[in-house]
Structure 1
Amino acid sequence: MKKQLAILALAIAAATPALAAPETYTIDGTHTFPRFSYSHFGYSTQLSRFNTTTGKVVFDAAARTATVDIVIDTKSVDTGYATFNEHIQGEDFFNTAKYPTATFKSTKVIFQGDKPASIEGQLTIKGVTKPVTLTVTDFKAAPHPMLKKNAIGANAWTVIKRSEFNAGKYAPNVGDEVRIDVAIEAIAQ
């Protein structure tokens, strides 16, 4: 009887598909650029970005789970104009001398089928932390054709009020609502 149970257990184990383990991906700083846009006195929508972003993503395709941890170097802000870069790093906006980074840490990733559809998390800017939800518009998980490692990529966006992060100078003339778009690529460790 013990032999039959052992054979049955072995047969069940062999028939059960192997589950993929969570895989850790490191943010590719050469292809990850958070951007932000806002209304400038209603004349135009200004577009800027951050040039330095680090972090990691833990992704488990089989379990449909993920975590996202991003650190943005606020001193790397790029408005396209050096004088304005300095201005926006000042106390009225990012105050990079005191708060050199902004962070996003996921609390929940919601999947539709095999792909993330939204990422809930905590955004911290100037020492103020608020919940935000990133809407994922594109997602891909596949081996990177050049690096020959697993890679993931996504585009996601959210809208915040900068006044809620103690950066509301000149609002409402300079728009309080800021759209944040994140283009992210990450490579398996």
Structure 2
Amino acid sequence: MRKQVITLAILSALGAAALAAPVTYTIDPTHTMPRFEYSHFGYSTQLSRFDKVSGKIVLDREAKTGTVDIEIDAKSVDTGYPVFTGHLQDEDFFNTEKYPTITFKSDSVKFKGDKLVAVKGNLTIKGITKPVTLKVSSFKCMPHPMVKKDACGANATTVVKRSDFNMGKYAPYVSDEVTLTIPVEAIAE
């Protein structure tokens, strides 16, 4: 009887460990569209986006750990107006010829209960790396109804200063503070 209890305890522990295994998710580029907004001379809030993004998210929701690794194609910036899009790709702003990618690599994740609420890490734009905290809202993981795999999605937001990334031209008239929002969906591998 004692041997059966020990065997059952070992099997239970192995089953719990299997449940706590990290899951790797691949970012869905068709449902992940990083965008940024800023004040334009105080007249209006301008909104632009990036059309190409890739990356991986690893989450262990039981252990409340994970990593986020996102790469944004800076050349895919889209303002909705080709002349202005080209202007943002010039040296004064993203300088996409020299710095074609923007990256975010996490240092840590923070959960509140079962919900991911923040991701701390390093944002690199134009070869300059600064620490940022992405505040996470609308976090949800569930089986994806179309692809029949587990999936997670969230909105992550932070505020950065353009001047911190050598992109401060026209500040303060065009706001130095920029809100970066990353609505993300990712599918389990």
Distance 2:65 2:137 in 1: 17
Q: For residue 42 of structure 1, what is the aligned residue in structure 2? A: 42
The reply to whether residue 9 of structure 1 matches residue 38 of structure 2 is no
Q: For residue 126 of structure 1, what is the aligned residue in structure 2? A: 126
Distance 1:137 1:61 in 2: 16
Q: Which amino acid aligns with 2:16?
A: A
Deviates more, 1:18-27 or 1:108-117: 18-27
Point out where structure 1 has 5 or more consecutive residues left out of the alignment. Answer: none
- Over the matched positions of the two proteins, sequence identity in percent amounts to 61
Q: For residue 18 of structure 1, what is the aligned residue in structure 2? A: 16
Q: Which amino acid aligns with 2:54?
A: T
Q: For residue 111 of structure 2, what is the aligned residue in structure 1? A: 111
Q: How many residues align?
A: 186
Distance 1:11 1:41 in 2: 68
Q: Normalization by structure 1: what TM-score?
A: 0.95
Q: For residue 100 of structure 1, what is the aligned residue in structure 2? A: 100
Distance 2:8 2:88 in 1: 64
Q: Which amino acid aligns with 2:157?
A: W
**Residue 156 of structure 1: how far off its partner (Å):** 1.1
Point out where structure 2 has 5 or more consecutive residues left out of the alignment. Answer: none
**Residue 32 of structure 1: how far off its partner (Å):** 0.2
Distance 1:102 1:120 in 2: 16
Q: Normalization by structure 2: what TM-score?
A: 0.95
The reply to whether residue 170 of structure 1 matches residue 170 of structure 2 is yes
**Residue 24 of structure 1: how far off its partner (Å):** 0.6
Runs (4+) off by over 4 Å: none
RMSD: 1.2
Distance 1:11 1:144 in 2: 34
Distance 1:39 1:177 in 2: 8
Q: Which amino acid aligns with 1:54?
A: S
Q: Which amino acid aligns with 1:12?
A: A
Q: Which amino acid aligns with 1:18?
A: A
Distance 1:15 1:85 in 2: 57
**Residue 116 of structure 1: how far off its partner (Å):** 0.7
Deviations 1:97-141 (A, max 9, x none): 000000000101000001111110000000000000010111010
**Residue 11 of structure 1: how far off its partner (Å):** 2.4
Deviations 1:122-167 (A, max 9, x none): 0000000000001011101001000000100000100000100000
